[in-house]
C-alpha cells in the first residue's frame, strides 16, 4: 500500500495463581502453550505482549502496556480456569474488542491416566469463558469467543485469528490515515452528504479538504524523467489502451500519477472522495481528462478513490480492499428479468485487482452526467462469489453497514466503457433490489471478489455499528 498501516494487537494469557504452587509442572506447561499461541498470530500485525497474568497487578500492568500502544484488538488465551480479576483490569480503560480464545491442548482425554495437573494444564476448556464473557458484558466491552484445539492443528482456529487481525487492520487504517475530500459531492446527491465532524467522532476518520485549484498544479514540479517513465510503464502494464498504448501517449498521465503518489504519502491519505464540476479548460481540463485512470492506479495501491465525492463509499471500498484485497465502486445498473440477474457497476475509477483480465482504457467525448471528457476505464470483475458493502446513516448520524453476498455469472455485459457485472442473488433479482433499497444504503456500494460477510461482521464490532445482511 502507498501508505502503510499495521494493526496493533495486544495478546496475553491468564491462569489461576493458586494452581501454580500446588502443581509446579503447570508453569513450564503454560509458558510453552503461550509461546506456541503467540506464534499463531499473523506477522501482518504488530504483537504487543502482555505476558501470562495470574494476579490483578499483572493484569493492570498488561492494560497499561496495551493502552500505551493504542492497541486495536485484545486477544486473550485462557490457559486454564482463572478468575475475572485476571482479565478486567487489563481491558478496563480500553475500547476495543476482546477475543476470548479457548484452546485446549489435547483433542481428547486419556481418562484413566489423567491426573489433576494434566487436566488443568492440557484438558481444561470452557470453564472460565462464560465468566469472562459475563463480566465483559457488565463492563460494556465488545467481545467474542473462539474455541479450538492445539493437537493435530486447527485450521478453523487459525483462519479465525487471521480474520480478526484483518478486521483490526481496518480500525488502524481509519485511525492512522486521512480522507482527502477534493471539491464537493455531486450536487443534489443528498444521500452522499456527510458531517465530517460526526465522521471523525464515530469512525475515527479525519477529513482533509483540498481545492481543485491546488491539484491542477500538483504535477508542475515533477521533472524526474526516469520516474515519469517508470510510472508510464506501470500504466501500460495495467491497462490496454484503445488504439494502442505508448509511453509517450501516457507521459502526462504518468507525471500526474507520480505527483499524486507523493501527495498521498505526504498527507497520509488512505481515502479520496472527489468530484469536479468546473469548466474543464486549460490545466483543469488536462487533469480532469486523465483523473479516472490516475485514481485507478492509486486504488491498485490501496487508496480508496471514490467518484461523485462519496465519502461513505470510499470507506466501504477501503474496508473491502483491506480485508479482501479488492474494492470496486458499484451501483445498481439494470435488472435482467429474463435471467433473474442484477447488472451492477459504475463508471470511473476502479480496482485492477478485481479484474479477471486486463482492464481497458479509452477516450470518450463526454463523461455522462459530468463535466468534460477524456479517459474512461473498464474493469472485468472475477466470476464467482462476490460481496457488496454499503455504508449509510440514520437520522441521528449513526452509521450502518449494509452487506450482501452473491455470485457473478458469465454472460453479456455493457460495452460502453463502464465496469459492470452480472450478479445472481439467492433471493432473486427482484427481491434483492427491494430488500437492498429498503435498507437505505445510499446509491453506491463497494464490491469485492469472494465471500466476506463474516469478516464484515467483525469489522462492525470495532466501530460498534449494526450490520444489515440482505442475502448470503
117-167 residue pLDDT tens? 999 999 987 789 999 999 999 999 999 999 999 999 999 999 999 999 999
Report the C-alpha gap between 172 and 300 in whole angstroms: 19
Per-residue pLDDT tens over the stretch 386-398: 999 999 999 999 9
| Average pLDDT value over all residues in the chain | 96
Per-residue pLDDT tens over the stretch 49-102: 999 999 999 999 999 999 999 999 999 999 999 999 999 999 999 999 999 999
Nearest to 453 by CA among 243, 167, 238: 167
Strand partners for 403: 389, 469
- How far from the centroid of its chain's Cα atoms is residue 431's Cα? 28
Per-residue pLDDT tens over the stretch 261-284: 999 999 999 999 999 998 989 989
Nearest to 444 by CA among 333, 361, 294: 333
- When pLDDT is cut at 50, 70 and 90, the band that residue 247 belongs to is very high
C-alpha grid cell, residue 311: 465519502
Triad 143, 144, 146: Cα angle to 5° = 145
- When pLDDT is cut at 50, 70 and 90, the band that residue 19 belongs to is very high
Kindly state the percentage of the chain with pLDDT values over 70.
Answer: 100
Q: What ranges in 41-152 are assigned the alpha helix state H?
A: 56-69, 88-91, 116-118, 129-139
The per-residue pLDDT for 348 is 87
**Can you tell me which residue has the cell 478513490?**
305
Report the C-alpha gap between 406 and 411 in whole angstroms: 16
- When pLDDT is cut at 50, 70 and 90, the band that residue 240 belongs to is very high
Report the C-alpha gap between 310 and 194 in whole angstroms: 9
Higher pLDDT, 373 or 309: 309
Strand partners for 145: 100
62 Cβ contact partners less than 8 Å away, ≥ 6 residues apart: 10, 12, 50, 51, 53, 90
Strand partners for 335: 342
Per-residue pLDDT tens over the stretch 305-346: 999 999 999 999 999 999 999 999 999 999 999 999 999 999
Per-residue pLDDT tens over the stretch 428-460: 999 999 999 999 999 999 999 999 999 999 999
pTM of the entire structure? 0.96
Mean pLDDT in residue range 374-390 = 96
Name the 3-class secondary structure at 305. Answer: strand
- How far from the centroid of its chain's Cα atoms is residue 467's Cα? 15
**Can you tell me which residue has the cell 463474516?**
454
Mean pLDDT in residue range 168-176 = 98
Sign of CA dihedral 425, 426, 429, 432: negative
Report the C-alpha gap between 303 and 293 in whole angstroms: 13
Max distance between CA atoms of the chain, in angstroms, equals 86
Report the C-alpha gap between 404 and 432 in whole angstroms: 9
- When pLDDT is cut at 50, 70 and 90, the band that residue 415 belongs to is confident
66 Cβ contact partners less than 8 Å away, ≥ 6 residues apart: 10, 48, 50, 74, 90, 94
The per-residue pLDDT for 371 is 86
The per-residue pLDDT for 346 is 92
Name the 3-class secondary structure at 209. Answer: strand
**Can you tell me which residue has the cell 500526474?**
256
**Residue 110, number of CB atoms within 10 A of its CB:** 10
Extended beta strands in 205-317, E state: 206-210, 240-241, 269-275, 304-306
The per-residue pLDDT for 446 is 98
Triad 466, 161, 271: Cα angle to 5° = 55
Amino acid at each position: 500500500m502507498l501508505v502503510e498501516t499495521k494493526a496493533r494487537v495486544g495478546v496475553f494469557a491468564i491462569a489461576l495463581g493458586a494452581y501454580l504452587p500446588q502443581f509446579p509442572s503447570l508453569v513450564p506447561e503454560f509458558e510453552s502453550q503461550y509461546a506456541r499461541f503467540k506464534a499463531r498470530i499473523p506477522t501482518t500485525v504488530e504483537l504487543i505482549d502482555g505476558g501470562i497474568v495470574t494476579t490483578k497487578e499483572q493484569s493492570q500492568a498488561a492494560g497499561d502496556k496495551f493502552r500505551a500502544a493504542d492497541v486495536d484488538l485484545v486477544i486473550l488465551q485462557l490457559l486454564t480456569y482463572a478468575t475475572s480479576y485476571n482479565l478486567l483490569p487489563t481491558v478496563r480503560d480500553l475500547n476495543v474488542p476482546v477475543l476470548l480464545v479457548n484452546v485446549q491442548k489435547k483433542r481428547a482425554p486419556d481418562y484413566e491416566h489423567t491426573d489433576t495437573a494434566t487436566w488443568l494444564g492440557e484438558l481444561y476448556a470452557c470453564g472460565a469463558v462464560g465468566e469472562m464473557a459475563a463480566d465483559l458484558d457488565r463492563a460494556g466491552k465488545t467481545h467474542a469467543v473462539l474455541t479450538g484445539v492445539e493437537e493435530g492443528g486447527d485450521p478453523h482456529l487459525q483462519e479465525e485469528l487471521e480474520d480478526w487481525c484483518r478486521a483490526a487492520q481496518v480500525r488502524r487504517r481509519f485511525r492512522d490515515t486521512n480522507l482527502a475530500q477534493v471539491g464537493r459531492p455531486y450536487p443534489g446527491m443528498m444521500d452522499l452528504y456527510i458531517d465530517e465532524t460526526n465522521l471523525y467522532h464515530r469512525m475515527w476518520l479525519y477529513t482533509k479538504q483540498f481545492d481543485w485549484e491546488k491539484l491542477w498544479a500538483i504535477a508542475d514540479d515533477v521533472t524526474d524523467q526516469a520516474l515519469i517513465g517508470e510510472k508510464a510503464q506501470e500504466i501500460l502494464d495495467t491497462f490496454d489502451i484503445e488504439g494502442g498504448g505508448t509511453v509517450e501517449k501516457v507521459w502526462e498521465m504518468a507525471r500526474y500519477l507520480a505527483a499524486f503518489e507523493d501527495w498521498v504519502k505526504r498527507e497520509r491519505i488512505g481515502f479520496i472522495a472527489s468530484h469536479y464540476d468546473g469548466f474543464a479548460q486549460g490545466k483543469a481540463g488536462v487533469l480532469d481528462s486523465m483523473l479516472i485512470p490516475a485514481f485507478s492506479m492509486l486504488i491498485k495501491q490501496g487508496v480508496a478513490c471514490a467518484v461523485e465525492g462519496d465519502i461513505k463509499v470510499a470507506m466501504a471500498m477501503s474496508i473491502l480492499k483491506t480485508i479482501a484485497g479488492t474494492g470496486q465502486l458499484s451501483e445498481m445498473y439494470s435488472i435482467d428479468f429474463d435471467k433473474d440477474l442484477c447488472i451492477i457497476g459504475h463508471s470511473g475509477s476502479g480496482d485492477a485487482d478485481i479484474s479477471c483480465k486486463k482492464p481497458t482504457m479509452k477516450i470518450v467525448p463526454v463523461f455522462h452526467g459530468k463535466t468534460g471528457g477524456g479517459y474512461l476505464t473498464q474493469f472485468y470483475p472475477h466470476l464467482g462469489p462476490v460481496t457488496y458493502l454499503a455504508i449509510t446513516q440514520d437520522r441521528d448520524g449513526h452509521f450502518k453497514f449494509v452487506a450482501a453476498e452473491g455470485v457473478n455469472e458469465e454472460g453479456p455485459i455493457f460495452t460502453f466503457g463502464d465496469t459492470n457485472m452480472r450478479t445472481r442473488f439467492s433471493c432473486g433479482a427482484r427481491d434483492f433490489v427491494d430488500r437492498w433499497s429498503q435498507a437505505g444504503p445510499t446509491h453506491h456500494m463497494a464490491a469485492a471478489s469472494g465471500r466476506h460477510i463474516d469478516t464484515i461482521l467483525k469489522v462492525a464490532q470495532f466501530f460498534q455499528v449494526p450490520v444489515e445482511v440482505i442475502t448470503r
